[in-house]
């Protein structure tokens, strides 16, 4: 939609467009019209090439006229935040463009000389880096699972060896009690056997202690805008806004890779079965140092008696077509000291479908989570203090 009134800085805007076209970095320009409509002025060839869209689709059109409804609303909120703020806005986002999952590090700023009505966007694709990061996380989780098996085997072997060695030590002590040396050195040999067994028992105890110490897994906590992340995922799994989402607007500190992969998987699954609504609840268990994330929907739910193991086994057979499945998510969470579990549906909230809970190390930084009604009675103090 073209504005019939020339922009007071039209010449400067043309020069800025020419500058964008000379840079081999995905960039775009937005302008806010007097009626508050935010529309694209230009997108350079680099952006069109990376996004897989012809740049001609951008000029004079708003996000609502280019992208699906939920994605457009999400992008417009970002543009509005830049126009109404005093500082550049920088964020990571995941967009579904023509069926492809693409990751971007986007920075929005207001160039001087346009009365604060023009936004310059620089969008650097991080899709390949994200894919490598997710693949590395999966590999680490697999290695952690194998290490756990090895640790269990070694500690069980050490534990099984301790009992017979302790018996040998007791028997040697019984033999030495009242034993008369006939001058052939048997007493010293028996004492040597006893000392050797005692030393072996000490080493076995040390091995068991080390096994317990290695149980804790490595996590890389970073600051995560959980509200933005959840909205990104909602825009991907429900681009046409056919579902209602209840999402926490909160910032947390946790392993960003784990929460991205886990939340994407659970919200994507929920979107496949939900009728009208999906809710994401967040609480913090300060005692255990965990964040508790529940994803619930109003779909038909699971068959009675269904266990998480049933779903992970079923998902393993479909991973070739459905990416990072429940089994991998559960394994990844476990490798970081967390867990994945099934919880009872929230019928009182109209959420009769499946409810999954992710537990992962982390804590709340700012904002307010939402606690499932009637739950987390032991950890609700955090909500009162936040």
pLDDT (tens digit per residue) in 67-101: 888 888 888 988 999 999 888 888 777 766 666 67
Res 320: pLDDT: 41
pLDDT tens track for 314-366:
655 444 434 457 887 888 888 788 899 999 999 888 899 999 999 999 988 87
What is the rounded distance in angstroms from the CA atom of residue 385 to the CA atom of residue 367? 11
Res 380 pLDDT > 50:
no
CA distance 297 to 300: 9
- Look up tokens 């609700």; give the residue: 380
Q: How far is CA 270 from the centre of its chain?
A: 16
pLDDT at residue 295 tops 90 = yes
Cα-based distances in Å from 363 to 27, 217, 223? 35, 17, 10
Question: What phi and psi, each to the nearest 5 degrees, are found at residue 241?
Answer: 60, 45
- Closest CA relative to residue 122, chosen from 46, 10, 57, 33: 46
**Which pLDDT tens digit goes with each residue over 95-134?**
666 666 777 788 999 988 888 899 999 988 877 766 676 6
**Per-residue confidence at 243, pLDDT binned at 50, 70, 90?**
very high
Q: What is the DSSP string of 28-50?
A: EEEEE-TTS-EEEEEE-HHHHHH
**Residue 190 to residue 77: CA distance in whole angstroms:** 81
């Amino acid at each position: 939609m073209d504005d019939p009134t020339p922009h007071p800085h039209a010449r400067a805007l043309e020069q800025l467009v020419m500058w964008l076209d000379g840079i081999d970095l995905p960039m775009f320009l937005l302008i806010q019209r007097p009626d508050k409509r935010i529309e694209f002025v230009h997108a350079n060839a680099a952006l069109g090439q990376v996004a897989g869209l012809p740049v001609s689709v951008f000029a004079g059109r708003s996000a609502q006229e280019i992208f699906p409804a939920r994605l457009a609303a999400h992008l417009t909120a970002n543009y509005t935040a830049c126009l109404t703020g005093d500082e550049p806005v920088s964020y990571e986002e995941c967009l579904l463009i023509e069926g492809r999952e693409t990751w971007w590090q986007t920075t929005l700023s207001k160039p001087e000389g346009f009365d604060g009505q023009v936004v310059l966007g620089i969008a650097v694709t991080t899709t390949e880096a994200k894919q490598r990061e997710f693949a590395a996380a999966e590999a680490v989780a697999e290695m952690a699972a194998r290490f756990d098996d090895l640790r269990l085997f070694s500690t069980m072997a050490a534990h099984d060896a301790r009992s017979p060695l302790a018996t040998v030590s007791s028997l040697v002590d019984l033999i030495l009690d009242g034993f008369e040396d006939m001058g052939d050195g048997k007493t010293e040999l028996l004492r040597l056997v006893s000392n050797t067994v005692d030393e072996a028992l000490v080493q076995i105890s040390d091995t068991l202690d080390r096994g317990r110490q290695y149980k804790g897994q490595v996590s890389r906590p970073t600051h995560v805008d959980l509200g933005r992340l959840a909205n990104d995922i909602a825009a991907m799994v429900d681009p046409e806004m056919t579902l209602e989402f209840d999402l926490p607007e909160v910032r947390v500190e946790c392993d960003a890779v784990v929460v991205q992969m886990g939340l994407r998987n659970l919200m994507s699954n929920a979107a496949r079965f939900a009728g009208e609504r999906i809710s994401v609840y967040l609480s913090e268990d300060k005692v255990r140092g965990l964040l508790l994330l529940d994803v619930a929907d109003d779909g038909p739910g699971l068959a009675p008696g269904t266990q998480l193991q049933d779903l992970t086994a079923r998902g393993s057979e479909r991973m070739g077509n459905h990416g990072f499945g429940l089994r991998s998510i559960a394994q990844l969470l476990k490798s970081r000291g967390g867990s994945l579990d099934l919880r009872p549906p929230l019928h009182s909230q109209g959420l009769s479908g499946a409810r999954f809970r992710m537990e992962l190390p982390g804590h709340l930084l700012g904002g307010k989570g939402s606690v499932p009604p009637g739950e987390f009675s032991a950890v609700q103090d955090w909500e009162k203090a936040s």
